[in-house]
Structure 1
């Protein structure tokens, strides 16, 4: 089975690519939503977050997001501590999920993550697809989607790894600029993966 990582910056369209893959019958593991699920349900995550932040981090079985966010964004070291608790469990959960899908007969699955390389999730996949869109397009999409200001979106973009760095680390590139058809690019990529041939 082929495990395909899907990454890209804010507003690049990686979630839309995941949608297209699902429409083709290829299941995709969304690390963002699964991390939220595991933060509530995984006993070790709960234990370690409580040890780090105190009993108030969970209230009535609900994560205290303001408390977590205040700690998380206070400094880089705090974010690293939180990530060290959550990311390994997401990684293990994906590995178990992918193994289950393979036993069920899947020939390919995907993993969508904005922080695929930063989190180390790339080690769990065979190939990485980077979804690229020009900066102005990404800003416009994120503003429309999140009802954010341009300044807010730019701050979030600066907090992520650069497109150049992630493109260099990735195996495949999909250009989602609203001009080149995305579906035909994706179809070519999937055919190449299935046939194990390089994409020109």
Structure 2
């Protein structure tokens, strides 16, 4: 089974790419989705987060992700602690899903992991190729502010919490540029999938 990782910076267009890959019929393991599942009500992960960040990050029994984000991204130490709580759970769940697809006899699986390099997934040996979705800094900032309704300072602090995109590009096997329209990105992804199928 070939496993291809999709990563990039925050608001670089990873979701658009993985949605298109999913629509094309390929299995996609989505770390963002997994990260929500590991903090669902009743999980020990959520309890640990509550102990660390306080009761006010729980709203109607559910994690208030916006409130948690404000706290975590405001402090390097808190962001590090949040990662220590959630990262092992996310990694374990991703491994489970990959094992499931292997048992099902899938020949090709995509895995969307935003913090691929930050969490050192390249050292796991699970992946045959790493694709980085890249965009320029201004586009990334504008998209993030619009998407998450953040001011420029909040958006910058979230971008700075990740490795710079140019570092990710240097480590990638394939780079898909996303500075243009949604249609242009779709064309690039379609061409890339054709290459993967032929390869």
TM more than 0.5: yes
CA contact (8 A) 2:73 2:161 kept: no
Q: Give the Cα–Cα distance (whole angstroms) in 1 for the partners of residues 139 and 65 of structure 2.
A: 30
Q: Give the Cα–Cα distance (whole angstroms) in 1 for the partners of residues 98 and 169 of structure 2.
A: 25
Note if 1:183 corresponds to 2:179. Answer: no
Shift of 1:169: 1.3
Out of 183-192 and 15-24, give the one that drifted further: 183-192
In the alignment, which residue of structure 2 is the partner of 1:79?
A: 79
In the alignment, which residue of structure 1 is the partner of 2:136?
A: 134
In structure 2, do the counterparts of structure 1 residues 68 and 12 end up closer, same or farther at CA, with 3 Å as the change threshold?
closer
- Cα deviation 1:118-173 (Å, max 9, x = unaligned): 12334343321101122222233223323333443333222321111111111110
In the alignment, which residue of structure 1 is the partner of 2:109?
A: 109
Q: Give the Cα–Cα distance (whole angstroms) in 1 for the partners of residues 114 and 45 of structure 2.
A: 21
* Corresponding residue pairs, total: 196
Structure 1 unaligned runs (5+)? none
TM-score (norm 2): 0.79
1:47-196 to structure 2, matched below 5 A, reads 48-49=48-49, 52=52, 61-63=61-63, 68-69=68-69, 72-73=72-73, 75-122=75-122, 123=124, 124-178=126-180, 181-196=184-199
The runs of at least 4 consecutive aligned structure 1 residues that moved more than 6 Å come to 54-57
CA contact (8 A) 1:40 1:61 kept: no
**Secondary structure in structure 1 of the residue aligned to 2:105:** coil
Shift of 1:108: 1.8
TM-score (norm 1): 0.79
Q: Give the Cα–Cα distance (whole angstroms) in 2 for the partners of residues 23 and 107 of structure 1.
A: 17
In structure 2, do the counterparts of structure 1 residues 169 and 98 end up closer, same or farther at CA, with 3 Å as the change threshold?
same
In the alignment, which residue of structure 1 is the partner of 2:23?
A: 23
Q: Give the Cα–Cα distance (whole angstroms) in 2 for the partners of residues 153 and 66 of structure 1.
A: 13
CA contact (8 A) 2:11 2:140 kept: yes
